[in-house]
A and B are shown apart, each in its own frame.
Chain A
Amino acid sequence: MPLTTTQTLIIMGAMTLGTVITRFLPFILFRTPKSEHSVITYLGQTLPYAAIGLLVVYCLKGVTFTATSGWVPEAISIAFTTLLHVWKGNTLLSIGLGTVLYMVLVQVVFV
């Protein structure tokens, strides 16, 4: 545990607050279901896609190009996961095998 118990609980509180806000906000803002809320509705439709793009990059923030071990395992595993998912479309299989491949690469091949 890199953080103290209190710090961990505060992080948990911040995450809970963030989640609760996104879930309750529409019900608090829009008491009248039928009215037009164009910007919020528009962001509700588009932001989810942009957010996943952001998260993919976020996961790769540690990648470096100074040595092959800094980026090649990521590149191979992402290509593998993507192709497997395009081919089979099985979420659990793609995540499971992709992670195993990455673990093998960083533990055995690119040590």
Chain B
Amino acid sequence: MREMKKALKAAFPHTIPILTGFLFIGMAYGMLMDSKGYGPGWSFLFSLIVLAGSAQFVGVTFLTSAFNPLYAFFMTLMINARHLFYGISMLERYKDMGKLKPYLIYGLCDETFSVICATTPPEGVNVKWFRFSITALHQLYWITGSVLGGLLGSMITFNTKGLDFVLTALFVVIFTSQWKAHPNHKPALIGLFSTAACLILFGPDRFIIPAMIGIILLLILFKKQIRGPIPEPEQGEEEIQCL
């Protein structure tokens, strides 16, 4: 118990930058959910259990269109595919995390990944509880933001038409950040143009699965040409990518 408290104290300062971001984006999520008829209770559940920012935002569109869990599953896999990379980078670090390991992996969102990569606990602080504290604090901030947004949305009534654009803006911003940060634009362009081509070919209701297959095939077929210099994400660099 004392060890836990000590670790929490040491971890808190490292989570402050995420606190602001998660509260703000979490609130936008809660408000968006509320505007679609899913109140703060639902935002709480989704943020607690799914715990994946961008997937949750896209998830709002699963909740407002025809019921299709398989589609929701594949979309989430695709959106969160980047976590495969985080996992691979964390194999060594999480090797000896004991009984906390499952939770640490469960809560390994982008922000948590970047903070844990960039920090080491001070002398005398238990590294397992330190990493646990970072992961749990981030989850707490995310849940708090979403619930606050849901509450705010249900108290204040305003014209929410166009609020959905927060999702578009989020991905445009991530796209722009990645474009600026990485010299190799081929994967991004493949994603953009093969999806656009599939949208035109298959129409807005059934273009996503063909687009995913197309992207993976193109990436694998042209591996040699694409490879080039793709730097691995720098620690802490992927600020919001992170959701």
Report which A residues bind B (CB closer than 8 A). Answer: 1-3, 7-8, 10-27, 30, 33, 37, 39-62, 73-74, 77-78, 81-82, 85-86, 89, 91-92, 94-96, 98-99, 102-107
Contact = CB atoms under 8 A, between A and B. Distances in A.
B88 A30 contact: yes
Given A12-B50, A30-B91, A99-B165, A18 B74 contact: yes
13 contacts: A14-B69, A18-B55, A24-B87, A26-B91, A27-B90, A47-B81, A47-B84, A49-B182, A54-B191, A55-B58, A56-B192, A74-B165, A107-B161
Contacts of A51: 78-79, 81-82, 191, 215
B81 A23 contact: no
Contacts of B195: 53-54, 57-58
Contacts of A96: 24
A94 B173 contact: yes
Contacts of B194: 54
B95 A33 contact: yes
Interface of B: 20-21, 24-25, 28, 36-38, 42, 45-46, 49-52, 54-56, 58-59, 62-65, 67, 69-70, 72-88, 90-92, 94-95, 105-106, 108, 159, 161-163, 165-178, 180, 182, 187-196, 199, 204, 207-208, 211-212, 215-216, 219-220, 223, 226-227, 230, 232, 239-241
Nearest to A91: B240
Contacts of A7: 67
A11 B232 contact: no
A92 B21 contact: yes
A37 B216 CA distance: 16
* Chain A, interface SS category: helix
Contact of B189 (A15, A25, A53): A53
B72 to A, nearest CB: 4
A60 B80 contact: no
Contacts of A10: 67, 69
Contacts of B24: 92, 96
Nearest to A44: B85
B226 A46 contact: yes
A81 B91 contact: no
A59 B63 contact: no
Contacts of A42: 219, 223, 227
